[in-house]
Structure 1
Amino acid sequence: MRPPFSARSRRWRRACGPATPISSPRPTRSPKPSHERGRPMSATVDLVIRDALLVTPEASRHGAVAVDDGRIVAVGHGDAMPSARRVIEAGGRPLIPGALDVHTHVREPGFAHKETWATATAAAAIGGVTTIFDMPNTNPPTANADAVREKIAIATPQAHVDFGVYGYVGEANLADLQPMAQAGASAFKLFLGSDNPLVPCPNDGAVLDALALIRQTGLRCTVHAENTPILNWRGAQMKAAGRDDLAAHLAQHADIATVEAVQRIALFSEWTGCKIHIAHENCRHALPVIASAKRRGVAITAETCPHYLLLSMDDAERAGGNALRVKPPVREAGHAAALWAALLDGTIDMISTDHAPHPIDEKHRASIWETSPGFPGVETSMRLMLTEVAAGRLTLQHYVRLACEAPARAFGLWPRKGALMVGADADLVLLDLEHRQPIRGATFQSKGKVTPFEGRETKGRAAMTFLRGTCVAQNGQILAPPGTGRSLRTA
């Protein structure tokens, strides 16, 4: 039996942080209110969500949100809202902006047996994620303007949520970087630690030239920051010694490989003025390098992922042994505590997932070197992090900063995305913080069914996910058809 509303509301307030009463019935102001867009608010709007706990990074306030034509048109007291064609009574539950995941591998084109745009974006919608960015290591790689346009064309009729695509940064395609931006790329991806022949690591001279060119586009370059020669050397050593286990994979990806690459790319960013983003940070020894760069004014942001925060090598057996393989690896106990501290002090800016699904047989191979690295994450990230909110590790306000506002700001989408304010896209998530359920890969919308969190009990989930005011998912079920999502550069 569910507890009475008053008891539930008290628990939600504790998780969200102190509620701030709304002092005025007038809607909150925005940098882009509807009247400044030349469109007055309609007498009757499409949607009003009433009696919600509106959670932003700054405050948690009881109130309501009105939506019309896909945008938020009013935020304030429920009695100040216009009439609506649909009214949802939130029952005091938290309402947050839709999350953004700027690190996913949708796999299409080229690897549709692993994932498709339909399955990946359905997983995102179920997970409360309303915007994803797809990495360029598809086949063909997203390495020129035609490939950008092709990927957008493949994604558009399938997508359940909005999406951006990355352009690949390599030695042979420097002349293609700016045309990719013009064709609709939302950001660029540089693989400094790559053994993938589709997206090889460029030499440092090409990297410097690429960053200078990317700076002119105004877009950000996300970096897989590991030292490729160190990885290759250590990997050869492990194989020559007959090592074939998860610990050998970790030894190959030595801490110094990450520290050196982060230091190098931060210096290159400082030299060129290009905005960079450190992907999937997993190493405590790299955190002072990121913090130092920020103090110097380098345009650097960083992410980490739930598997680095919540798992260590101690969990390998429970997580399926070789199935825990991911690049960069889950490290020894001790790194996670430093990553949590970095989230709280701002060294790490955001939560992403590195969503990387594979077929079951590719995750359960006997050899670590033949086991495909990565696993799905976009469907479970919010559930895992809300569980940590319930445990008191962070507040819901802080989670909104990490999962919604920070990625939107870093990638030039705020306040259109990641915001609960007038003029923003009505990408919203109504939470149920009382929902308890173990994670079961077999139930995923994603084609990837192998997760290191199999059986892990979670508390809290996205009860309703709205994309521009349309409810695309509710209580684990997809409601909106494929094609509801749009490209960020054309939406």
Structure 2
Amino acid sequence: MSTHYREVDLVIRGAKVVSPDQIIEASVAIAGEHIVAVGHDDTMPPARQEMRADGLYLLPGAIDSHVHFRDPGYPNKETWRTGSAAAACGGVTTVFEMPNTNPPTGTIEALNLKLKAAESSYCDFGIHGLLGDDTIDHLEDLLEAGVTSFKAFVGNTFGNLPSPTDGALLEGFEKLAPLGIRTVVHAENSSIMARRQKRLVEAGRMDVHAHLAARPSVCEIEAIGRVLTLAEWAGARVHIAHHSAADSLFVIRAAKLRGVDVTVETCPQYMLLSTDDFTRFGGIMRVNPPIREKRHNQPLWDALMDGTIDMIATDHAPHTDEEQTRADIFKCDCGFPGVETQMPLMLTEVNRGRASLMDYVKWSSVAPAKAWGIYGTKGVIAPGAHADIAIVDLNRSGVLSQGKLQSISKLNPWNGRAVQGYPLHTLLRGRFVMRDGKLVTDAVGWGKSVKGIQKMPTPQPRNTHLYSSAILETPAGTAPHALPAGYPLPAVETEAAS
């Protein structure tokens, strides 16, 4: 496919272009920020610059739905400049950043501070606003001011933001369902975890295994079930963050079969690491939800393959060395950097035959682009799309080194791990932000918000006559469950029919 251009900015020749459905030998022409042609080399328009990519693969730039760039509030851990530089060097062209900064992204003022910090970004970005008891009344204002989506911390994590009450969570879903906006949920049961951690501390447990003991998989099972029940009732879109356990997959599968609009991410740490690695890495392994026993690894791969889990994210969560290496596991800050290492880790598994390169593109780019309403402009190498491209060498081998990371935070359990498959070059909207494995420093600030291109599918709200907003307008003496005229009743299966 091509469009007639007298001259374009760049033609990439000799590579193989990857989509979820096929890998084809094709050249790609770029004019300005967009791809204008994908096809046979002979059909390419003349270009001011040409690049040979023989033997390499062109992937849509990865889209990471879950990063913490820590700014504003914690620039000693990470900044937008360093975090986005790590993304660019990891073949990631778009990130969605979390609201547990300081101040949390739950007010217009806090959002504006974050948008100001993001002016130094090397990658494009979306902003998850905070859904909590104190933010329910101005979710719409946050959306208008630039938030793309929301995050509800149903399970506690860094920043110790209070979990929303179930009443606030439902009301938030009621507000967002008619707008079609998706909410990310950290789904763990805070009450169970707090009680178990308290008892472990009282018993003198501070070892790395105690963190897992405080957060068993039942916390994830219960919280996911509760969140999906509320979302299904309201017709809201939800996204389950960092799915960690084989045991809770049945809840997701059942919800998807019922038609609940739920997307799910998992992370390399839950697929590739286990309690077998605890002794070696100690407190660096403390993440929320916890890394679990080895039996959980393969079921997560299987769930990606069958569509129960939709995508790969990283939960890039940088901290200082001292914060990750305290003797008491419960005093170690949770998380480690991951946005720069995700692609080589996953390409290594592709090389091992665990998944295809087409699978990886689906998980790393296509699925998140669709979940956040930016597919077509992002997530695909096709005419009209942004020229967001990771140029990958599947044959290049190496060893991951924390000393080479762009992130301020260095300590991570991938250090010293052998990998095969690297992004060599990263283009964001037609501009190199990483070239020959090195950050293009003068591309700082090239990244911008995806808010302007976001277009979510038509909303599918349910039970709107019972929303909080509806019952508050119900006249005195009127039953709150009275259905509006013509309201469609659900089909009820009778014994005779069954």
Q: CA deviation at 1:110?
A: 0.3
Q: CA deviation at 1:471?
A: 0.9
Task: Give 1:384's aligned residue.
Answer: 345
Report SS of the residue matched to 1:131: strand
> RMSD of the alignment, in Å?
1.2
Q: CA deviation at 1:197?
A: 5.8
Distance in 2 separating the partners of 1:475 and 1:356: 26
Query: What does the per-residue CA deviation read over 1:147-166, in whole Å, with 9 as the maximum and x for residues that have no partner?
Result: 2222112211x110101111
Q: How does 1:281-300 map to 2 (within 5 A)?
A: 281-300=243-262
Report SS of the residue matched to 1:52: strand
Amino acid at match of 1:260: E
Q: How does 1:87-486 map to 2 (within 5 A)?
A: 87-156=50-119, 158-194=120-156, 199-318=161-280, 320-479=281-440, 480-486=442-448
Query: What does the per-residue CA deviation read over 1:344-403, in whole Å, with 9 as the maximum and x for residues that have no partner?
Result: 111000000000001111111111011111000000000000000010000000000000
Distance in 2 separating the partners of 1:144 and 1:196: 19
Task: Give 2:488's aligned residue.
Answer: none
Task: Give 2:464's aligned residue.
Answer: none
Distance in 2 separating the partners of 1:212 and 1:143: 18
Q: Under a length normalisation based on structure 1, what TM-score does the superposition of the two structures give?
A: 0.90
How many pairs are equivalent?
452
Task: Give 1:69's aligned residue.
Answer: 32
Q: CA deviation at 1:239?
A: 0.8
Amino acid at match of 2:208: L
Q: Under a length normalisation based on structure 2, what TM-score does the superposition of the two structures give?
A: 0.89
Q: CA deviation at 1:199?
A: 2.2
Report SS of the residue matched to 1:230: helix
For the 8 Å contact 2:158–2:333, the answer to whether it is kept is no
Amino acid at match of 1:119: T
Query: What does the per-residue CA deviation read over 1:77-120, in whole Å, with 9 as the maximum and x for residues that have no partner?
Result: 01101001111111131111000001000000000000000000
Q: CA deviation at 1:69?
A: 1.7
Task: Give 1:36's aligned residue.
Answer: none
Amino acid at match of 2:47: A
Query: What does the per-residue CA deviation read over 1:16-65, in whole Å, with 9 as the maximum and x for residues that have no partner?
Result: xxxxxxxxxx43xxxxxxxxxxxx75310111111110110010000111
Q: CA deviation at 1:317?
A: 1.9
Q: CA deviation at 1:198?
A: 5.4
Q: Is 1:82 equivalent to 2:82 in the alignment? A: no
Q: CA deviation at 1:196?
A: 5.4
For the 8 Å contact 1:429–1:462, the answer to whether it is kept is yes
Task: Give 1:35's aligned residue.
Answer: none
Report SS of the residue matched to 1:401: helix
Moved more, 295-304 or 246-255: 246-255
Query: What does the per-residue CA deviation read over 1:187-241, in whole Å, with 9 as the maximum and x for residues that have no partner?
Result: 1000001155652101101110011112233221000000110111111111111
Distance in 2 separating the partners of 1:62 and 1:208: 49
Report SS of the residue matched to 2:73: coil
Distance in 2 separating the partners of 1:428 and 1:203: 41
Moved more, 411-420 or 470-479: 470-479
Higher-Rg member (1/2): 2
Moved more, 187-196 or 382-391: 187-196
Distance in 1 separating the partners of 2:187 and 2:359: 26
For the 8 Å contact 1:181–1:217, the answer to whether it is kept is no
Distance in 2 separating the partners of 1:394 and 1:302: 18
Provide the identity percentage: 45
Structure 1 residue ranges (4+ consecutive) displaced by more than 4 angstroms after TM superposition: 195-198
Task: Give 2:495's aligned residue.
Answer: none
